[in-house]
Every structure is written in C-alpha cells, then in structure tokens.
Amino acid sequence: MNQSVIFHILPNFPFVFRLIISLVLIAGGIIWQLLTGWATPGWIPLLLASIFLMYKGVDKRVVKNSIFHGADWQKINREQVQQIVDTKRKLAKWDTSLYESSGCLGGAILILLIGASLFLILAGVSNLYLMCIGMDMLVLFLPQFLSGMKRFDMLAKPVLYARKILEAATMLEIMYPSAKIEYLILLGTKKKIKTSVPKEVKFKVSFPQDSDDFLGMYGQLSMNNVGSTTYPYFYTVQVYKEGFGLKKKMDSIHMTDEKVIKEYTEESGVEVMVIRQRTTQKTGYNTKPRDVERILHESVRAYELLN
C-alpha cells in the first residue's frame, strides 16, 4: 500500500504514522493474548488495527496532479499521449491484487483465508493458541477483503483515443518522414474529480511546402458504440482559409482507393475537406490499421495536389 490508497478512517492521516499505529496495535494484541492465554481481549486492538487499515479505493486516474491545464484543445507532446496509454496498463495490475476479492486471485486467497481460519478455530478446541491464530487471521484480514473493491478511473475512451492516434501518427511518420506532427488534447471535467481529465486526442500535420492558405491537416477519431463495444473511426480534416476555393478544386481530386471518400464543408470562416472511409448502413464504422493507412495516403496525396 502507499499514498495512492484512500482509507475509510482519517483518509488524510499520514501513511507512515498509520502503519506504525497499526503495527503497535497488532503487536499489543498478540502480546496480550500470549500473556493471558485467552483470545478475546486481544481481538480488540487487532480489530482496531484492521479497521484503521481498511481502504476505500485507489486514487489513480489517467491524469493525476494534471500535467495539462485549461479546458480547450491544447498542444501536448508525444510522451504525454503515451503517458495516457501507459497509465491503463499500470492500473490494470490492481486486478491481480491479493486483496481484491473481485479478481480470480483475490477471490481464491479469500476462500483459502476463511478455510484456514475455520480449520484452526476448530482445531483450537483442544489447543487454545491455534484458536487464537485462526480468529486473529479473520479479524486482521477479512475486513480488508470486504472493505470495498479497489477502483480507479480508467477513462476507457480517452485511452482508446490516445492509443489509436499514436498508431496513426506513427504510420504517417513512416510513410512521410517530412511531415511535422503536433498532438492536441481536449480536456473536460468528470464528476467527483477535481482535476481536468482528457476527453479526446488528435494530431495536427504540417508540411515543409505549406501554402499560406493551408491551416493544417488533422487526424481525428469518432467513437461508434455497438452494444458494449466501442469502435474507433479514423478520418482526416484539411482546413483552408476562406476564399481558397477548396470546393471547386476538390472536383479535380479523385480518390485512388474506392473505400475512401472526400467531403466538403464550411465552418467558422474556413473551408474544410474531410477524407474518411466509405460507410454503408451496416459496415465501415470501424477503421482497422489498413484502413487508416489508406486514409492517410489519400489525405497526403490530396494535400499535394492542392498545394
């Protein structure tokens, strides 16, 4: 345990002092039992120690002591995007905690604990010290299993955003080494969390030969939910200044891959071209790595024709 664990009793109490007090109570209870030869009085300090160590959950989020600030899209670096992805992997280790009774390992340990304790208690009919050991095991450890599951905010969608955006950006770097990639994050707030947390991640691409009218190409994701499964849908957006004449120029651009389409739109005084995977009523809403590669290739090709 460490300071990332939130305790039920005096949650802000220093962990070192909590541990010292608990150890003193445990030692005192055991000594009491050894001196008196009777388990009951010793249960009191043992039970107090166990209650004092009961935890509520794990205080680890995708962003802790947030390295990001603000509430709108803002620049971050690749390492910070990778941090979001890595956090999920680190936190997933809690699923195998010995004290997490909802997991297979924790559940098995709980069953063994109860079984061993009952065996010692029954054996203690003719040996009082065995009974004391069995009762002490229950008093010390059972509350830890029953005090609540360790929980953490996985923020599954932001992690998926970060992972898929990194994959797409890596593809683009390999395909077009001259491309300059910047990462952007959209922050928001989550109920009961007092810090900004990531909602979406995307990247912005610029090239050495950018024209004055070109405002950037963005690699973005939307999430499609089918039942309990979330599917990422990758697409690119190229933004040009108003008056560039993008709509007319797009007429001369033809996609070389029939699975990829282009669309024109205008918003907030800019002209926009969206390049995405073709969809039907039932298919196309999940972009696999090969699909992302096609979209990136067609996007850069369209950029080169326009610039």
Specify the DSSP class assigned to residue 257.
S
**CB contact at 8 A, 142 and 114:** yes
**Does the pLDDT of residue 99 top 60, yes or no?**
no
* pLDDT score for 34: 78
More confident position, 184 or 73: 184
* pLDDT score for 195: 60
Q: What is the pLDDT of residues 55-92, one digit of tens each?
A: 765 544 333 333 333 347 889 999 999 988 887 666 55
**CB contact at 8 A, 90 and 126:** no
Q: Where are the alpha helices (DSSP H) in the chain?
A: 15-36, 39-52, 78-91, 104-123, 128-146, 156-175, 246-250, 289-306
* pLDDT score for 153: 45
* Residue positions counted in the chain: 307
* pLDDT score for 245: 96
**Does the pLDDT of residue 132 top 70, yes or no?**
yes
Lowest mean pLDDT among 122-131, 210-219, 254-263, 271-280: 122-131
Distance CA 250, CA 233 (A): 23
Angle (nearest 5°) at CA 120 between 114 and 125: 130
Indicate the helix (H) or strand (E) that contains 266: strand 260-267
Report the pLDDT averaged over residues 30-37: 79
**Does the pLDDT of residue 247 top 60, yes or no?**
yes
Report the pLDDT averaged over residues 25-43: 77
Q: What is the pLDDT of residues 288-306, one digit of tens each?
A: 999 999 999 999 999 999 9
Q: What is the largest CA-CA distance in the chain?
A: 95
| Strand partners of residue 50 | none
More confident position, 222 or 226: 222
Lowest mean pLDDT among 37-41, 134-138, 202-206, 278-282: 37-41
Lowest mean pLDDT among 84-88, 185-189, 192-196: 192-196
**Does the pLDDT of residue 145 top 80, yes or no?**
no
Residue ranges of domains in the chain: 1-59+104-149, 156-306
Give the domain 156-306 fold: Yope Regulator; Chain: A, (3.30.1460)
How far apart, in Å, are the Cα atoms of 220 and each of 10, 100, 108, 283, 287?
44, 37, 44, 19, 12
More confident position, 125 or 249: 249
> What is the CA 126 to chain-centroid distance, rounded?
53
Mean pLDDT of the chain: 80
In this prediction the pTM is 0.61
Query: pLDDT band at residue 152, thresholds of 50, 70 and 90?
Result: very low
Specify the DSSP class assigned to residue 178.
T
* pLDDT score for 65: 36
